[in-house]
A = this chain, B = another copy of it.
Amino acid sequence: MIGVAVLGAGRIAQVHVKAIHAAGARFVAVYDVVTAAAQWLAEQHGAAAETSVAAILARPDVDAVIIASPTDTHVDFTIRCAEAGKAVLCEKPLALEVAEAQRCIDRLGSCPTVIQLGFNRRFDPSHRALQQALAAGDIGALEQLTITSRDPGPPPTSYLLHSGGLFKDMTIHDLDMARWLLDEPIVSVYAQGSCLVDPAIGALGDIDTASVMLRTASGKQCTILNSRRAVYGYDQRIEALGATGMLVSGNHYETSLLRFSAKSAGAPTALQNFFLDRYADSYRLELIDFLDAVRTGRAPSVSLGDGLAALRLAEAAQQSLASGQAIAVN
């Protein structure tokens, strides 16, 4: 049974701990800079709370480490864990700067351990069914791809301050989806951004509403629609137009209840609220996939290079927003 440690004991770490159990692995130890948080999580699950990363890495019963600590620790922790011979699943984003992500990749270039980046949405059953149908040729050649990704409401300002901005924090997931589904190099990025939801977000120099248009070398077109606020729930859709059809990965509802009244007909509730519900399956399946790579030694499904590539596109979107012009990428 693979032994897994977790760096970080916050909300997303807790999601991963549940997934460890469900995947039939063993949650061995946890470290968090807030010792009490690590202790609480460890006690809940009969694991050890260690007081340093070094202590985690020193444990022979730790085969793999999930890095769920703040973004600015991702590169260092990834390097330390990988160089200690542990398999690594690092939460997204790998870094907030291209240079930093590049440094990580350069350093670990020949490292033989499995290192996977946490773009969990690739494992969502609905998105994955779309990707598989696309790859199977169900709609012929892809022509237009539309990714809608809107949060139910904005995070606190304290979070936004260290988020890297909407493109690196939120759009980066969609940029990875775009790369995964377009399956050919993106050559151009055009971005619009506005502050329409909350002036406090604008005061930070950030935006809360964005539309991004990508183009591949062969002329495939991709649109990403983001907002920090969709009062009707967590809006997560992908639509792919191809030569012989269209595929849509639609939204998920909490229940299948419909209500018909004199004034309306439809679901009496909003969509699933947020990513912990909507993507619960994808976190679970991501870990199963990662553990499979650890067991078999195969290459991870999502590489550090995927993290770097998405980050490059997010930076291009920032440049486009600043300049008002489309940015060529390669």
Q: Which of A35-43, A262-270, A305-313 contacts B (4 or more CB under 8 A)?
A: A262-270
Contact between chains at A192 and B211 (CB < 8 Å): no
Shortest beta-carbon distance, A104 to chain B, in Å? 33
- Is residue A129 contacting chain B, with contact meaning CB distance below 8 A? yes
Which residue of chain B has its CB nearest to the CB of A222? B211
**CA–CA, A223 to B326, complex, Å?**
15
Tell me whether A256 and B267 are in contact in the complex, defined as CB-CB below 8 angstroms, given that A143-B227, A211-B223 are known contacts. Answer: no
- Is residue A231 contacting chain B, with contact meaning CB distance below 8 A? yes
Shortest beta-carbon distance, A243 to chain B, in Å? 7
Contact between chains at A266 and B258 (CB < 8 Å): yes
Chain B residues lying within 8 Å of A263, measured Cβ to Cβ, are 268-270
> Per-position contact with B for A221-260: 1 when CB-CB < 8 Å, else 0?
1010101011111010000010111111111111111111
Shortest beta-carbon distance, A5 to chain B, in Å? 21
Contact of A260 among B221, B257, B270 (CB under 8 A): B270
**CA–CA, A143 to B197, complex, Å?**
9
Which residue of chain B has its CB nearest to the CB of A324? B326
Shortest beta-carbon distance, A178 to chain B, in Å? 13
Contact of A257 among B213, B230, B247 (CB under 8 A): B247
Chain B residues lying within 8 Å of A195, measured Cβ to Cβ, are 219
Which residue of chain B has its CB nearest to the CB of A237? B256
**Total interface residues on A, using CB and 8 Å?**
71
Contact between chains at B250 and A258 (CB < 8 Å): yes
- Is residue A325 contacting chain B, with contact meaning CB distance below 8 A? yes
**CA–CA, A254 to B266, complex, Å?**
14
Which residue of chain B has its CB nearest to the CB of A235? B246
- Is residue A209 contacting chain B, with contact meaning CB distance below 8 A? yes
Shortest beta-carbon distance, A254 to chain B, in Å? 7
**CA–CA, A249 to B263, complex, Å?**
17
> Per-position contact with B for A181-209: 1 when CB-CB < 8 Å, else 0?
00000001010101111000000000001
Contacts from A to B (Cβ < 8 Å): 21, 125-126, 129-130, 133, 138-139, 141, 143-144, 146, 150, 188, 190, 192, 194-197, 209-211, 213, 215, 218-221, 223, 225, 227, 229-233, 235, 241, 243-271, 324-326
